[in-house]
Amino acid sequence: MRMIWEDLQDKSFYQATARERAFGLVDKGTFKEFLGPRDKMVSPHLLVLGEALEFDDGIVVGVGKIKKHPTFVVSQEGKYVGGALGEVNGAKMSYTLRLALETYEKMKEKYGEVPDEKKPLCIVSYDSGGVRLHEANAGLLMHSECMELFYEFQNKVPNFSLCGSTIGAYGAQGFVCMSADVVIANDYGRIGLTGPDVIQQEVGKDEFDASDRALIWRTMGARSKYILGDVDYLIKDTIGAFRNQIVDLADLPMKKISRSRHLGSPKLVEENLEVVKLAAEIKANDSKDLWKYYGNDNPDELPELPYDKFISTVKRRPRAI
């Protein structure tokens, strides 16, 4: 399939394939894929279990440029086995992160201090349910590899999480996603640890009715996450909108980019714990209880408001830092 970069900018991020997202997010013509479909590096485990194979194992990874920044991209394909991660696609993801960090270290050797306008960036476009059960143990291990690298990224490699594809960022990918410096989402983005079906199965329908679409959106959806501060930028649904948000932030000093971090320090532990305590104190049983607490008098209307109206009127949890 031929991709025209200019067309990709206006394309719906939600409907785009992993490869379209990867190509469109970086500067025109700069994306170089690692282990592309031609390499036919398929999962050895899905084959044995009789599943259909994809030559890229459901993930597109590589490096391009945004202005002068080498930009490492991981783009997950939710349409293939739920975007879930196993041995091969997991290694593609975690090793791409490792190469981003290595590029930072090499640049530091070369320049002494890495110039703000040249520092490597990392973008992960999430579309995954987490661990691929067919190769669950390998999937578990790759998540820890990602977490160690995201830890190492701090104050070095700006780390952008993009949420707005079909599956969301669920399971262990949910917490990998939240470990970034900046979380960007469109209205379709969803972030969670335990998906609706699993909650219903494990705890019961009185805890979570997985057939209630509205409940799913207001619990895990981007609007709620934006109000509660987990999503930093809620943007329109085009690849170009995601790209522009990153372009806007890319040249800033690392310190400024990491101001929106959601975790990774004793201070943020205390900030997050305050919200946990608040939820217990007001016996929050629905996200609307917290939306209201943070000053929204119209919680029933918020999910339905047109995007522009929502953005201009919504009240968000004030961040402590």
Partner 1 sequence: MAKQFLYVGKGDQAITDICDADSFVENKIGDSRLDAELAPGAMVGEATLDGELVTVIANNSKRPNPRFRVVYNGVIGMEECYKFAQAMYATIEADKDKPLKDKRPIVLLIDTPGNSPGKVEEIVGMTKGTASYQFAIEDARHAGHPVIGMIVGRAVSGAFLCHGLLSDRILALPMKYGTIVHVMPTTSIAVITKIPLERLNELVKTNPVFASGAEFFYKLGGINEMVEDPKDMKNAIKRNISEVRKLRLEGKEDQLGIWHRGVVGAERGGRAKRLNAITKMRAEYEKLLPELLD
Find the angle CA(80)-CA(125)-CA(18) to the nearest 5 degrees.
40
Q: Which two tokens stand for residue 113?
A: 């201090």
User: Is the Cβ of residue 265 or residue 298 nearer to partner 1 in the bound state?
Assistant: 265
Q: How many residues does the chain have?
A: 321
Binders of partner 1 in range 282-301 (CB under 8 A): 284-287, 290
Stretch touching partner 1 by CB under 8 A, among 14-22, 88-96, 250-258, 303-311: 88-96
Is residue 158 close enough to count as binding partner 1 by CB under 8 A?
no
Amino acid identity at 6: E
Q: Identify which range of 10-18, 82-90, 237-245, 250-258 contacts partner 1 by CB under 8 A.
A: 82-90
Query: Smallest distance from the beta carbon of 186 to partner 1, in angstroms?
Result: 19
User: Which 16-55 residues touch partner 1, going by CB under 8 A?
Assistant: 32, 34-35, 39, 41, 43-45, 48-50
Q: Does 140 bind partner 1 (CB under 8 A)?
A: yes
Among 2, 29, 52, 280, binds partner 1 (CB under 8 A): 280
Q: Which two tokens stand for residue 310?
A: 């929502």
Q: Is there binding between residue 70 and partner 1 (CB under 8 A)?
A: yes
Residue in 130, 125, 155 with CA at minimum distance from that of residue 141: 130
- Using CB under 8 A as the binding rule, the residues of this chain from 163 to 222 that contact partner 1 are 171-172, 174-179, 191-194, 198-199, 202-203, 207-208, 219-220
Binding segment (CB under 8 A) for partner 1, from list 4-12, 127-135, 292-300, 303-311:
127-135
H-helix segments, the chain? 5-10, 18-25, 44-48, 87-111, 136-153, 172-178, 196-202, 213-220, 222-228, 239-250, 254-257, 266-281, 287-293, 307-313
Q: Could you say which of 56, 87, 232, 237 contacts partner 1 (CB under 8 A)? A: 87
Q: How far is the CB of 268 from partner 1 (least distance, A)?
A: 7
Looking at 89-97, 236-244, 297-305, 308-316, which segment touches partner 1 (CB under 8 A)?
89-97
- Which lies closer to partner 1 via its Cβ, residue 45 or residue 316? 45
Q: Shortest Cβ distance from residue 29 to partner 1 (Å)?
A: 13
Secondary structure of 201-266 in the HEC alphabet? HHCCCCCCCCCCHHHHHHHHEHHHHHHHCCCCEECCCCHHHHHHHHHHHHCCCHHHHHHHCCCCCH
**By the 8 A CB rule, do 144 and 172 touch?**
no
